[in-house]
Chain A
Amino acid sequence: MTMSFKGKPSRRAFLKGAAAAGGTLASASVAKAAGDPLITEVQEWASATGEGVDATPYGLPIEYESDVVRRNVEWLTADTISSINFTPIHALDGTITPQGCAFERHHSGAIELKKEDYRLMINGLVDQPLVFTYEDLERFPRENRVYFCECAANTGMEWAGAQLNGAQFTHGMIHNMEYSGISLRSLLEEAGLGAAGDLKDKWVYVEGADASSNGRSIPMEKALDDVLVAFKANGEALRKEHGYPVRLVVPGWEGNMWIKWLRRIEVTDQAIESREETSKYTDTLEDGTSRKWTWVMDAKSVVTSPSPQSPIKHGKGPLVITGLAWSGRGAITGVDVSVDGGKNWMPARLGAPGTDKALTRFYLDYNWQGEEMFLQARAKDSSGYVQPSKSELREVRGLNSIYHNNCIQTWWVKANGEAENVEVS
């Protein structure tokens, strides 16, 4: 692989932060002498006027937040068309991911598909094969649900060791949105499942309108349970790169199955065993055999701040340790945080009670005295599952699984506030 990058981002980010902190200190010393000029002197924004309401029909974040963006890691893939980018989770708070910086994963690029050109077909073992327009879909009874979409490969580069330095890169193949759409069940019932006979051994094969098609097989039980055909996310239409105008939402299951630009749903009597469930999204174990159909994303968490891209800049004293936890097996019931590499754990505070298959924010309000920390978080879910360490995972799976790495992450926070991605014994 080609590694064309240089420098240490955490160091650079830290220095940038230190410069900012220096500015604050200067202001503070001025304040001692004559008062803070940001207070004692009339500032321009307190005197002149700002922008009119017609300046920005659809706004972007203020320029000072320009670092809160999706990032690409060039050497991960052969080109950017079938590739991945990363959500800036180190800089976000709460649980809802802004769509504009929510990660992308395409296999043949983000296509442009107008609502007028959109068609959805249901065929196979149904009573009546159907074609829907976009307008047809909007007339079915609608649901609203918040779910995480995590790429099966999230944290995959970390199987063999600590590699990428930042929560965005190690854990940022994830987003969490409020979806509005219709149940897949309602569409299947509209076509009629009488022809399918015993539904227990039936499947739905779903594919997108793009060249890759991204076809995947889903067992009928899941299809009839909680799968959504979504056309809105976080209140507005899906972004082009997230499947506009219609995508599948498969709660708790690996992101690959969340088919974008959804164009066809086929009821079948066998799994198609498509490329994306044989060559890819199968998990090779140490003995050379591979697990297939590893659909569920297990309980997982990460401290988002402090972290390599979010160093401590304010010195000793009160420190907010925060992060995200999630599970495809249910709701997060608790998160424990360790500052000593897992010797001792403290229960964190959940920002809001965990909900089914959705991101949960956690906080630990901590009094930092400048000591080195080995920061870890450990998620627990409503099924009783406890997030494992990387060595626990490796004992079962070896190093070559690629996918489904939900191990406990360690950040080494140094005395100067910088943080680094490390593995500890």
Chain B
Amino acid sequence: APALAEKMGLGRTALPEEVAAWDLDVAPDGTGLPVGSGDALVGEEVFAEACAICHGDFAEGVDNWPKLAGGADTLDHDDPLKTVGSYWPYLSTTWDYVNRSMPFGNAQSLTPDEVYAIVAYILYSNDLIEDDFVLSNETFLDVEMPNAGGFILDDRETSEAHFWKAEPCMADCKDTVEITMRAAVLDVTPDEEGAEEA
């Protein structure tokens, strides 16, 4: 838009301490990681205190809360178990997400060393490191994530190219139509009284 060719002169310069306070994201290559370290033994204590009530003592998950460990080699199964160990491609994401958004309800309350220790404990729970491995900003990229190669870019335009049809069928498109599944049989939809009570 021509009106935007010149700057509006709105806003003010962000100060370094302001950027440091909000720019916490960590990229797969480790960009953004603060200096610090922790191991699984310390992590076990921090995890027990801050995380285990929902995620279980061994990161195996309580009730419907997310399981952080387990599920190795289940991704091609009927009901894959997707955890940090079985699914997540980058360790950076675990560090970044725990640091910014966990514990649930008390986010941004952990020190960098505590986050390193928790992440080490999650790795240990997934059998991905030994208990004497010290996770730090320097050893971070030494950890191999099992599913790092498990992702492909959105390929719908090629693998689903046949969905772009010149003219879809309009008449006599199939011989028979039989019911193969019914939602009423499963019967898991909340009823209207339930909504009014809630």
Binding site for B on A (CB under 8 A): 1-3, 5-10, 12-13, 67, 69, 71-75, 77-78, 81-82, 107-108, 121-124, 128-132, 136, 139-141, 161-166, 169, 183, 185-186, 189-192, 205, 207, 211-213, 215, 263-264, 266, 268, 270-275, 278-279, 282, 284, 286-296, 298, 308, 336, 340-345, 374, 378, 380, 383-386, 388, 392, 396, 399-400, 412, 420-425
B90 near A336: Cβ-Cβ < 8 Å: no
Determine chain A's interface SS by DSSP, over half rule: loop
Closest chain B CB from A223 CB (angstroms): 14
B165 near A422: Cβ-Cβ < 8 Å: no
- Complex interface: chain B residues within 8 A of A425 (CB): 174, 176-178, 180
Q: How many residues of chain B have a CB within 8 Å of chain A?
A: 85
Judge if B27 is at the interface, Cβ distance under 8 Å. yes
Q: A1-B64, A162-B182 in contact; A270/B27 too (CB < 8 A)? A: yes
Closest chain B CB from A44 CB (angstroms): 27
Judge if B127 is at the interface, Cβ distance under 8 Å. no
Q: Mark B149-175, 1 if CB is under 8 A from A, else 0.
A: 011111110011001111011111110
B7 near A289: Cβ-Cβ < 8 Å: no
- Complex interface: chain A residues within 8 A of B35 (CB): none
- Complex interface: chain B residues within 8 A of A388 (CB): 160, 163
Of all chain B residues, the one with the shortest Cβ separation from A67 is B192
Binding site for A on B (CB under 8 A): 1, 3-4, 7-8, 10-14, 18-19, 22-23, 25-29, 31, 63-66, 75-76, 78-80, 82, 84, 87-90, 92-93, 96-97, 100-101, 104-105, 107-108, 150-156, 159-160, 163-166, 168-174, 176-184, 186-195, 198
Determine chain B's interface SS by DSSP, over half rule: loop
- Complex interface: chain A residues within 8 A of B176 (CB): 425
Q: A139-B8, A422-B183, A425-B177 in contact; A288/B170 too (CB < 8 A)? A: no
- Complex interface: chain A residues within 8 A of B192 (CB): 9, 12-13, 67
A291 near B27: Cβ-Cβ < 8 Å: no
A165 near B166: Cβ-Cβ < 8 Å: no
Cα distance A425–B183 in the bound complex, in angstroms:
15
Q: A6-B191, A278-B89, A342-B174 in contact; A213/B101 too (CB < 8 A)? A: yes
